[in-house]
A and B are shown apart, each in its own frame.
Chain A
Amino acid sequence: MSFLSISNVSKIFGGVVAVEDFNLEIEKGEFVSFLGPSGCGKTTTLRMVAGFELPTSGEVVLDGENITYKSPNQRNVGMVFQSYALFPNMTVAQNIGFGLQVRKTPAEEIRKTVDEMLGLIHLEKHAEKYPFQLSGGQQQRVALARALAINPRVLLLDEPLSALDAKIRVELRQEIRRIQQTMGITTIYVTHDQEEALSLSDRIVVMSQGHMEQVGTPSEIYNHPTTEFVASFVGQLNLLPVTEVNVQNGTCKLNGQLVRFDHSEQSEQRQISAKPRLAIRPEEFQFGQAEARNVVLGRVEVVMFLGAVVRLRVRIGEALVSVDLFNERTMILPRVGDDVTVNFPAHACWIM
C-alpha cells in the first residue's frame, strides 16, 4: 500500500462536478504535481487532502489511516498558500513556531526547530522581522518553513509561486525541490505552470475539467502524451491534417506527400479521430533535405528571434506550424516569404 492513497474521490459543488473519480497512489518522499488550467479541479483535490473540503464520495488514506472526514487541524498536513497567509501580528520566528506552540511543545524545542528552519530557508537574520517587512519571495520561504516546522506527514503547496515575479519564481522552485529532497517529505504541488511541474516533479498528474488526463513522469507526459489535451497543454504541439492513414505501416499523406510516423503506441493508447491529424512538437523540425526523415515543403510566414530559440511559423499545405530552431551564431535566418524544405524524424510524430 502506498503512503498516500486518494481513491475514487469526487467533489460536486451545487450540481457542478469539480472533481470526478480521482485515483492516485503516492509513495513516501515522492514529489507529485497536479497540473492543469484554472477550474480543472487541481486545487479542490488538494484541499480535500488538506481537509478544507469534504469529498462527495471516495476516500483519502494517509499512512494507513483514513483521514477523509478528519478535521484539518488533526491531519498533521503542512500547507503553503499562494497568498503566503503569514500571520501579520507575529514575527517570522513566531510564525514558524506557531504550529509547535499550538501543540504545546516545550519552548526550548520550539526555539531549536525555529532556528533549524530559519537555517533551511536562509533567513536567519530576519527571525524578528514582521511579514510586512519581507519581500514576497522571503514571505513564501517563511510560509514554507512554517509548514515544515510541524514535521508534517505530507506537504501541500497550492500555486505557491504564482504571486512572485519570474526570476524569484525560478530561484524559489529550486529551493523548494532542494528542501523537499533534503527532508524527504512527500509533497503535492498544485500549479498551472507546466515548466514548474516539469522541472520539480517525480510525477505529474495532468487534469482537465475535473478529470485526470494522464499520470506520469515529466518525460512521459511531455514525450508520450496520451490525450490531445495533455499534448497541447504541456508544451506546444502542431496538429497537421493528414489523409490516407495506415496505422499498421505507420504512413499517411501530408499535403499529398507520404509521411512516416511512430505507430508503436498507436493501437494501445490512442484513438484516431475521424479527422486524423499528425502531431509533432515544434523543436523536432529542421531545415533542409535529410535522408531517412520526413521531408515537406513550406513557406515562412513569421520569424521571431527569442535569443536561445528562433520561433518560425511555416505554412505547410493548409496548416500553419510552429518551428523552433536552436539559435547558432552563424545561422542565417530565413525571411518571411521564403520557400523552405522542412524535415522531421518519423519517431517524433504520431497520429491523433
Chain B
Amino acid sequence: MRRNTFWSWFWIFLGTLYFLLPLISTFLFSLRAKKDVLSFLSYERIFTDVNFTRTLGFSLVVAVFTILVSILLVVPTAYWIRLRLPQLRAMIEFMTMLPFVIPAIVLVFGLIRVFSGAPFFLTNTYAGTNALLVAAYAVLTLPYMFRSVDAGLGAIDVRSLTEAAQSLGANWATILFRVIFPNLRVAILSGAFLTLATVIGEFTIASFLVGIKAFGPYLSLTGQNKTYEASSLTIISFLLTWAFMGLIQLFNRGKSDSALAGAH
C-alpha cells in the first residue's frame, strides 16, 4: 500500500516536471533580456509594442465574429440533424472533420482563387478580406464547434423537449432560443473557447489573407526576430489561455449560482 502511494507520487512528480520545466525555463529565459540581471524588460517591450495590442485586438474581434457565425451555423444544423435527419449524421460528421484532413494552406489558396475573381471580389476590400477570414475560420474550427454542440445535444432529449415545447404552442424560433440554446450553454462555451484559442494562434490563413494584421503572423515574426520577446510572448499566450479557461469556469458557475439564487 505504502509502495503504491510512493510510486503514485513519483509519477505525478515526474509528470508535473515534464509539463512545468519547459514553461519555467521559458519564463526564466524571458527575464534575461537585460544582460546579467533578471528583469521584465522583454515584457515591457511587448506591452509597449503597438503591434502587439493591435494584432491581438484584431484577432480577438475576428474570433468573436467567427464564434457568432459558427454558433448560428452549427447549432441549428446539428439540432435539425438530431431531430429530423439522423441518417445524415455520419455524413455531416465526416464533413466537419475535413478541416483536419485538408491542410490550411490548401484551404487558403482555394479561398483566394475563388474569392478574388468574378463574381466574388471579396479580397479587393479590407471588409471583404476580413469577412473571408471569418468564413475561413468558421470552416477551420467546424470540428470543434460541431463536436461540442453535437455532444451537448446528445446529452439532452432533443426530440421530447422539442415536442413538449411545440405542444405548448412554441414556434421554431422560441424552441431554438428558449429551449435548445440555453441547454447547450456549456457545450457552446467549450466550442467557443476552442474556436477562440485556434483563431488567436492561427498562422497560415491569416498570413495569406491579412498578413501582419493578425496575432498569429505577429507571433511568428517576433519569434524569428526577437529572442527574449518570443519567450515572453509564449508565457503571455499561456496566461491568456488560462485566463479564458478560468473565465469560462467562472461564467459557468456564476450562471448556475445566480439561476439558483434567482429562483428564491
Contacts and interface: CB of A to CB of B under 8 A. Distances in A.
Interface in A126-156: 128-130, 143, 146-147, 150, 156
B157 to A, nearest CB: 5
Interface string B131-173: 0000000000000000000000000110011011111111100
B260 A73 contact: no
Given A128-B264, A130-B260, A98 B165 contact: yes
B158 to A, nearest CB: 10
Contacts of A107: none
Contact of B168 (A83, A84, A130, A150): A150
Contacts of A91: 263
A76 to B, nearest CB: 7
Given A128-B263, A128-B264, A85 B170 contact: no
B169 A103 contact: yes
Contact of A73 (B157, B169, B179, B183): B169
Nearest to A91: B263
A72 B169 CA distance: 7
B167 A72 contact: yes
A99 B263 contact: no
Interface of B is mostly: helix
A3 interface: no
A75 to B, nearest CB: 8
B167 A73 contact: yes
A95 to B, nearest CB: 9
Q: Sort chain A's interface into a size bin.
A: 20 to 34
Contact of B166 (A72, A84, A103, A150): A72
Contacts of A81: 160, 163-164
Interface in A14-73: 50-52, 71-73
B124 interface: no
Interface string B244-264: 000000000000000110011
A102 to B, nearest CB: 5
A9 interface: no
Most-contacted residue by chain A among B157, B168, B263 (CB, 10 A): B168
Given A73-B169, A102-B174, A103-B169, A89 B183 contact: yes
A85 B161 contact: yes
Chief secondary structure at chain A's binding surface:
loop
B86 interface: no
A128 B260 CA distance: 8
B168 A98 contact: yes
A87 interface: yes
Nearest to B256: A130
B264 A72 contact: no
A295 to B, nearest CB: 56
A342 interface: no
Nearest to B167: A79
B76 interface: no
A91 B262 CA distance: 10
A147 B160 CA distance: 13
Contacts of A307: none
A106 interface: no
B15 interface: no
Contact of A79 (B156, B163, B264): B163
A222 B183 CA distance: 46
B182 interface: yes
Interface in B170-202: 170-171, 174, 178-179, 182-183, 185
Contacts of B163: 50, 52, 72, 79, 81, 85
Interface of A: 50-52, 71-79, 81, 83-89, 91, 98-99, 102-103, 128-130, 143, 146-147, 150, 156
7 tightest Cβ-Cβ pairs between the two chains A and B: A99-B168, A128-B263, A85-B160, A85-B164, A79-B167, A89-B182, A72-B166
Interface of B: 156-157, 160-161, 163-171, 174, 178-179, 182-183, 185, 259-260, 263-264
Given A85-B161, A99-B168, 9 more contacts: A50-B163, A71-B166, A73-B169, A76-B169, A85-B163, A98-B168, A102-B174, A130-B263, A150-B168
20 contacts: A51-B167, A52-B163, A71-B166, A73-B169, A73-B171, A79-B163, A81-B164, A83-B157, A84-B160, A85-B157, A87-B165, A89-B183, A91-B263, A98-B165, A102-B168, A102-B174, A128-B263, A130-B259, A146-B164, A156-B167
